[in-house]
Amino acid sequence: MASLFDKQADVYLDARPRYPSEWYSMLASRTLRHSLAWDVGTGNGQAAIGIADHYEQVIGTDISEAQLKRAVPHAKVRYIHTPSSIMDQELVSLLGGENSVDLVTVAQAVHWFNLPDFYSLVTRLLRKPGGVIAVWGYNDYVISPSIDTALKRFHNTTLPYWDGNIRYIFDGYQTLPFPFESIGLGSEGEPLSLDMPKDLSFEGLVGMLRSWSSVTTAKDRGVDLLSESVVKELETVWGGCDVIRTVTYKAFMLAGTPKLEN
């Protein structure tokens, strides 16, 4: 799975939307302490850097070395490569031991994980009481009726090439297992809806589409989903390559704290 993101690391860095700073403030207000946060699947470190405004130290981990090489440096963020072969106990030790983490975040990545194993590890690591896990993602965007329709057609061509539990993203985490106690920011079966506005150029749009793992997988199989003709069609409906448009990404979040044992 890491190879999917190794191949698109440069495109990914430039293409994806920025998570609003208000999200990090919102999450920080829910944890009792602000010593250590763990950003899992950190990629280029976007979320880790945002979290660092509120925590003394942030550890960002990722399975992809290529992504981590492009992660933005920050004095309070430490990036660690965590290959799929790493043992849970080694991760626990790297993160300071059980009951040591105040906040765990996963941005647009939890659907790739072995969820039972990951949630068990998170429960071991989070402070009790007062530790919080938050997972979020986005699966759609609103631009204009004609552009939205064209992008929907393109999205349909990618469906055979998605890997992982991508259905969780497609349904907005409504069916994502999330065995944690609600803290008022979405709960299992009822994710919190959030919007992410972003001004986007046509070049940025194409970059975002190229960053999709399905597009990379298709290309590896000899199928160019973003052929010259497809890009030209999208450019026409966009209104030209020089036009900047406001895109509203439709996001969703689940946040909670470990359930107390009876």
**39 neighbors 47 (Cβ within 8 angstroms):** yes
Buried b (16+ CB within 10 A) or exposed e, 245-258: bebebebbbbbbbb
The pLDDT, as a whole number, for residue 140 is 87
What are 219's two structure tokens? 């290309």
Helix (H, G, I), strand (E, B) or coil at 78: strand
CB neighbours (10 Å) of residue 13? 18
The pLDDT, as a whole number, for residue 13 is 47
Q: How far apart are CA 143 and CA 169, in angstroms?
A: 20
pLDDT-flagged residues of the chain (< 70): 1-16, 164, 262
The pLDDT, as a whole number, for residue 2 is 44
What's CA 123's distance to the chain center, in Å? 20
- pLDDT tens, residue by residue, 155-212: 999 999 987 688 899 999 999 999 999 999 999 999 999 999 888 899 989 988 998 8
What are 162's two structure tokens? 């998605």
pTM, 2 dp: 0.88
Give me the residue spans of the domains in the chain: 2-257
The values of phi and psi at residue 16, to 5°, are: -80, 150
Residue with tokens 């280029």: 44
Q: How far apart are CA 80 and CA 83, in angstroms?
A: 10
Q: Does domain 2-257 have CATH number 3.50.50.60?
A: no
User: Which has the closest alpha carbon to 248: 194, 203, 207?
Assistant: 194
The pLDDT, as a whole number, for residue 262 is 54
The pLDDT, as a whole number, for residue 45 is 94
The pLDDT, as a whole number, for residue 94 is 93
Give the rounded percent of residues in the chain with a pLDDT score beyond 90: 81
User: Which has the closest alpha carbon to 63: 113, 137, 120, 108?
Assistant: 113
The pLDDT, as a whole number, for residue 4 is 45
The pLDDT, as a whole number, for residue 9 is 42
